Amino acid sequence: MIASIKSLAVLALAATAAQAAVVTYNWDLTYVNANPDGLFERRVIGVNNQFPVPSINVTLNDTLVINVVNKLNEPASLHSHGLFQTGNAQMDGPSMVTQCPIPVGANFTYTIPIEQHGTYWIHGHNKGHYVDGLRAPLIIHNPKEAYTYDEEHVIALADWYHREHEVMVEQYLSIFNPSGAEPVPESGLINQMQNAKFNFVAGKTYRLRIINMSALAMFHFHIDGHEIEIIEIDGIDVERKKVTSFPITAAQRYSVLVTAKTDAKTNYVLHADMDPSMFDVVPPELALNVTGTIVYNEAFSLAPEETSNWDEFNDADLVPLIPEAMSAPDQQFVLNAVFSVLNDYSNKAAFNDITYVMPKVPTLYTALTTGNLNSNPEVYGKYTHPMVVKHNEWIEIVINNDDPGNHPFHLHGHIFQIVGRSEGKYDPSVPYPGYFNTTNPARRDTVLVPSEQNVAIRFQANNPGVWLFHCHIEWHLQAGLATTIIEAPELMNDRLKIDPKHIDHCKALGIPYSGNAAGKEGLDLEGANVGPDPLPGTFTAKGIVALVFTIISALLGLATIIWYAREDDAVIAAQIAKAKAAEEEH
Ligand SMILES: *[C@@H]1O[C@H](CO)[C@@H](O)[C@H](O)[C@H]1NC(C)=O
Ligand SMILES: *[C@@H]1O[C@H](CO)[C@@H](O)[C@H](O)[C@H]1NC(C)=O
Ligand SMILES: *[C@@H]1O[C@H](CO)[C@@H](O)[C@H](O)[C@H]1NC(C)=O
Ligand SMILES: *[C@@H]1O[C@H](CO)[C@@H](O)[C@H](O)[C@H]1NC(C)=O
Ligand SMILES: *[C@@H]1O[C@H](CO)[C@@H](O)[C@H](O)[C@H]1NC(C)=O
Ligand SMILES: *[C@@H]1O[C@H](CO)[C@@H](O)[C@H](O)[C@H]1NC(C)=O
Ligand SMILES: [Cu+2]
């Protein structure tokens, strides 16, 4: 396998920057066999029979056209992560939010005017397709970059599983996993491989674009023997900040500048350490510290590996080069994120006790076909967790993370300001502006909310459309940790144009494409998809676990099931599942 990544001479590119172009990619979504970690060959999702999926490179003001043919055996869609898609919400991609997925054998063309620059990525947004490999960097060059550098490398970090997503998610959401332990990856990858190499030429300055395309893993990034300076977060150019390492959670991006040594006598190790705190169990065979190599000369030996302390690092300290207007919010939503065993006895996620469940009609189509009712949240169904906002209002979302895990939250269609962050639950009595940053706060599209902390974000509702707000840990999205922002519904019919092909796809899949969340008129929501709800009463976590195991043991006719500890959950669940399967066979 070719391990080195060709670098792009950005300065040369800038010098010849021409007018906006239409840049076309033809992407047949195909299954491919691959063994990216060298440990296990499996079926993955690639493009044009290739894996890893090649990067997309465009320039500000281009139009990106992706002709997709779905050659998988299930429907698919693509989301360009971090792109505003102004007036173009129908191209955003999440299945059943802005479109019906592309049926098997069908094709669809995503046409995306490029209004931003920086480091992004594109990934499947139906089921867990991105966990199975359907993910690639999407790099948007700026003919007038804020910083000067000679070359660039893209460093895409990802976790890797040996089992297919569908198998894992079924176990994850089953009643046999009452503590909600997420599947732990088998490996970490850099550019979808082991031991990726990055060539450095003495004295040159490199822009490294680091993208975390993980399903779960959080990495700490550092390079032996070199200083790094952060210059971009999630597409926003920021003032230079020297760091020795920085954490990057699923879906986030950073660009750093690194100057190559002029007197290197060795090559150096590049580190992406997976943070074990993200995993319920760290299997002994999992190599947490993923490495690549900075190659000055293939003939050089490797400098001895350094151990580094992970930097304490607050992304809210990063200062955008171009400040954005700020305003007090017109509407505030406070969302409490929790995981618990619900009344279907599976461990699911909820914001304010609502577990996201896909509607029968893609939410965007409900907004476009229900007339004036489209400003009434009820029409979208309770379980899409709709939050209706008016055009150009300033919206503040406060996320209280009441879960023992850390969660990276992502808003589609916007970049948001990080205006507050504190320990514990958000306290509305803390006087403004003690809690809030009022001048040029950091902006990004994915923010980590650590356990038992809260973060407040703000954005202006200047992009009519339907935008998902969700945890970007794929397992947690599937567990329902999502809400839907219905932005300026009164303007959507004027501003958005649905490609008739999308409607053909709904028809082919038997998915209704008009009416409320149940596919009916008015507010008659009978037959809408509903989710599990919290268990009644005051169950303690332990009590629920005991209850679930009583039910399971009754179900399976097993005499006793001993509950050890969270760590053994997966093992127990596997044993039970095996016992159940054996029973079903007889
Ligand atoms: C995109 O650019 C990156 C470097 O920026 C390069 O590694 C990659 O080969 C380019 N891909 C294409 C398809 O041009
Ligand atoms: C991109 O387009 C905008 C609006 O047409 C224009 O103001 C801007 O100068 C363009 N930028 C580049 C780098 O071409
Ligand atoms: C795309 O689908 C249309 C039918 O909607 C078909 O006529 C066309 O041949 C397909 N194109 C490709 C490239 O598969
Ligand atoms: C990627 O994100 C995941 C989930 O937040 C995190 O566990 C992992 O450490 C991140 N990887 C890197 C290299 O930052
Ligand atoms: C991974 O790297 C970190 C930081 O360099 C170090 O503290 C830790 O001990 C390493 N872990 C393993 C399992 O090698
Ligand atoms: C506000 O911004 C400053 C830097 O400008 C940063 O140090 C601080 O952590 C931020 N506060 C919050 C609550 O995010
Ligand atoms: Cu999460």
Tokens (6 digits) for 232: 């971009």
Average pLDDT over residues 268-294: 86
139 vs 253: CA distance, rounded Å: 11
DSSP string across 464-492: -EEEEEEESSHHHHHTT-EEEEEE-HHHH
Establish how many alpha carbons lie within 13 A of residue 401's alpha carbon, considering only the half-sphere containing its beta carbon.
22
How much of the chain exceeds pLDDT 90, in percent? 66
Confidence of residue 574 (pLDDT cuts 50, 70, 90): low
70-74, 75-79, 216-220, 541-545: segment of lowest average pLDDT:
541-545
Task: Name the class of domain 331-509.
Answer: mainly beta
Q: Are strands 187-190 and 151-160 parallel, antiparallel or unpaired?
A: antiparallel
Q: Which residues line ligand 4 (CB under 6 A)?
A: 157, 212, 214, 216-219, 221, 247-250, 272, 274-275, 278, 408, 473
Q: Is the pLDDT of residue 426 over 70?
A: yes
Confidence of residue 343 (pLDDT cuts 50, 70, 90): confident
Our answer on whether the CB atom of 151 is closer than 6 Å to any ligand 5 atom is no
Nearest atom (ligand 3) to Cα of 501: 5
Instruction: Check if the beta carbon of residue 87 is closer than 8 Å to that of residue 205.
Output: no
Confidence of residue 432 (pLDDT cuts 50, 70, 90): low
Q: Is the pLDDT of residue 11 over 70?
A: no
pLDDT value of residue 12: 36
pLDDT value of residue 8: 34
Nearest CA to ligand 3 atom 1: 107
Model pLDDT for residues 128-143, shown as the tens digit of each residue: 898 999 999 999 999 9
Element (H, E) at 457: strand 453-460
Q: Which residues line ligand 3 (CB under 6 A)?
A: 69, 107
118 vs 110: CA distance, rounded Å: 20
Average pLDDT over residues 274-283: 79
Q: Is the pLDDT of residue 400 over 70?
A: yes
Nearest atom (ligand 2) to Cα of 144: 13
Among residues 254, 260, 295, the alpha carbon closest in space to that of 272 is found at: 254
176-180, 265-269, 498-502: segment of lowest average pLDDT:
176-180
pLDDT value of residue 311: 72
pLDDT value of residue 558: 42
8-22, 209-223, 256-270, 302-316: segment of lowest average pLDDT:
8-22
Confidence of residue 184 (pLDDT cuts 50, 70, 90): confident
Task: Name the class of domain 147-320.
Answer: mainly beta
355 vs 581: CA distance, rounded Å: 29
- Give the residue, 78 or 179, on which the prediction is more confident: 78
> Of the ligands numbered here, which is closest to the C-alpha atom of 477?
7
pLDDT value of residue 344: 85
- Give the residue, 429 or 449, on which the prediction is more confident: 449
362 CA distance to ligand 6 middle (Å): 38
245 CA distance to ligand 3 middle (Å): 48
Q: Is the pLDDT of residue 507 over 90?
A: yes
Average pLDDT over residues 340-366: 93
Go through the chain and tell me how many residues it has: 586
114 CA distance to ligand 4 middle (Å): 27
DSSP string across 288-357: -EEEEEEES-TTSPBPPPPP-PPPP--GGG--BSS-------SEEEEEEEEEEEBTTSSEEEEETTB---
pLDDT value of residue 9: 34
Q: Is the pLDDT of residue 452 over 90?
A: yes
pLDDT value of residue 263: 95
Number of C-beta neighbours around residue 205 at 10 A: 15
- Give the residue, 463 or 339, on which the prediction is more confident: 463
E strands within 321-368? Answer: 331-341, 347-351
- Taking CA atoms, 504 is separated from 52, 92, 531, in Å, by 31, 18, 28
Q: Is the pLDDT of residue 232 over 90?
A: yes
Confidence of residue 445 (pLDDT cuts 50, 70, 90): very high
Average pLDDT over residues 492-511: 97
Confidence of residue 557 (pLDDT cuts 50, 70, 90): very low
Ranges of each domain in the chain:
1-141, 147-320, 331-509, 541-586
pLDDT value of residue 176: 82
Q: Is the pLDDT of residue 552 over 90?
A: no
Instruction: Check if the beta carbon of residue 545 is closer than 8 Å to that of residue 552.
Output: no
Alpha carbon of residue 375 to chain centroid: 28
Average pLDDT over residues 305-310: 78
Tokens (6 digits) for 403: 């879960």
- Give the residue, 343 or 308, on which the prediction is more confident: 343
pLDDT value of residue 568: 45
140 CA distance to ligand 1 middle (Å): 11
Tokens (6 digits) for 282: 């760290």
190 vs 80: CA distance, rounded Å: 20
Alpha carbon of residue 23 to chain centroid: 25
In CATH, 1-141 is 1.20.1250.20: no
14-28, 113-127, 277-291: segment of lowest average pLDDT:
14-28
Model pLDDT for residues 365-399, shown as the tens digit of each residue: 999 999 999 999 999 999 999 999 999 999 999 99
Among residues 189, 167, 163, the alpha carbon closest in space to that of 51 is found at: 189
Tokens (6 digits) for 449: 């909310």
pLDDT value of residue 346: 85
275 CA distance to ligand 4 middle (Å): 7
pLDDT value of residue 398: 96
Tokens (6 digits) for 484: 């839907």
93 vs 89: CA distance, rounded Å: 8
Confidence of residue 545 (pLDDT cuts 50, 70, 90): low
* DSSP letter, residue 67: E
pLDDT value of residue 544: 60
Nearest CA to ligand 5 atom 11: 289
Provide φ and ψ at 97, rounded to 5°: -105, -55
Cis peptide before 52 (omega within 30 of 0): yes
294 vs 197: CA distance, rounded Å: 6
Burial group, residue 28, by CB count within 10 angstroms (0-12, 13-18, 19+): middle
Nearest atom (ligand 6) to Cα of 314: 9
Tell me the Ramachandran region of residue 203: left when phi exceeds 0, alpha when psi lies from -120 to 50, beta otherwise. Answer: left
Nearest atom (ligand 3) to Cα of 67: 13
pLDDT value of residue 546: 60
Beta-sheet strand order (sheet of 443-444):
347-351, 331-341, 394-401, 453-460, 416-423, 443-444
pLDDT value of residue 428: 87
Domain 1-141 matches domain 331-509 at the CATH topology level: yes
274 CA distance to ligand 5 middle (Å): 9
What value does the mean pLDDT of the chain take? Answer: 88
Q: Is the pLDDT of residue 446 over 70?
A: yes
Radius of gyration of the chain (CA): 24
Tell me the Ramachandran region of residue 48: left when phi exceeds 0, alpha when psi lies from -120 to 50, beta otherwise. Answer: left
Three-class SS state of 4: strand
Tell me the Ramachandran region of residue 403: left when phi exceeds 0, alpha when psi lies from -120 to 50, beta otherwise. Answer: beta
25-29, 173-177, 198-202: segment of lowest average pLDDT:
173-177
Q: Is the pLDDT of residue 345 over 90?
A: no
Confidence of residue 123 (pLDDT cuts 50, 70, 90): very high
Task: Using the structure block, give the residue that is written with the tokens 């279907």.
Answer: 344
* DSSP letter, residue 507: H
Number of C-beta neighbours around residue 91 at 10 A: 25
- Taking CA atoms, 274 is separated from 135, 144, 215, 216, 271, in Å, by 19, 34, 12, 10, 9
